[in-house]
Amino acid sequence: MTVLGYIFLALENEHLVAEAEQKSALHEYARTFGLAIDEIRVEAGASLKRPFKERPEGRRLVEECSAGDALVIMKAEWILSSAGEGATLLGTLRKNDTALYCMDLGGNITVDEKRKLVVSEGSAGIVMKLLSALAVCENSGHGEAIRATKRNLKKQGRYIGGPVPFGWEVNDDRMLVENTAQQQVIQAISAMREDRWSYRDISRKLKNEYDIQLSHAGVRRVLESNIEKKKALLAAKNAE
């Protein structure tokens, strides 16, 4: 199995993300799935609208990847140039049994996930069905396809990518669930705030007693994020 990272240095400035930032993010994201990236390919100066298989590095990746290999990228919109092209590309990768991990869509969107004796389509089936439907009426462009996919996944309460907040973890179903040990730390932080501890004092306490490195601003973000996540998950549960 070969794991390849794909860095896209867009021709359009509004879509350009620094190479170093992408590289760091790809390695960190791959590790969340227990993967180690063997090689990173850099696509420089290509237009976002140019199909992936018509870009120099994109074409080589599709030709070289074989069964069991995996591609890791930051944004799906960098590789799915349109609903039609996207559906074709995902179909090719799926046929070749090549996994495509997109950070902003929360995981593998081409190959069904195998869990014990059960095979679940997970994000792969959802994305493929959506792109196939949009390809029939290709008027909205690739941006709307991606946004619709993310809305669909979010509505289901699925994790759709990005850093996992402190106090939470992603389970086998790609859902955010509470991390018991970290939630206990958050409870301790909340108790200290109720006792009128400053964020700086809490930061020092965490470092000395829990060996947790959080700045005073980080402590504030952890509390605020934890409240927001619990409200969002409750809303998703009530919507079921």
Looking at the DSSP bridge assignments, the partners of residue 42 are: 7
Contact 3, 69 (CB under 8 A): yes
**Which residues of the chain does CATH 3.40.50.1390 include?**
3-155
Instruction: Average the pLDDT over each of 113-117, 179-183, 201-205 and give the range with the smallest value.
Output: 113-117
List pLDDT tens digits, range 44-94: 988 888 889 999 999 999 999 989 999 999 988 888 777 778 888 888 998
Q: What is the 8-class DSSP label of residue 92?
A: H
Residue 125 contacts by C-beta under 8 Å, 6 or more apart in sequence? 112
pLDDT of res. 126: 54
List pLDDT tens digits, range 1-16: 899 999 999 887 877 8
3-155: in CATH 2.170.8.10: no
Sheet strand arrangement including 99-102? 39-46, 3-10, 70-73, 99-102, 107-108
Neighbours of 27 (CB within 10 A): 15
Its pTM stands at 0.51
Residue 76 contacts by C-beta under 8 Å, 6 or more apart in sequence? 102, 104, 105, 109, 146, 149
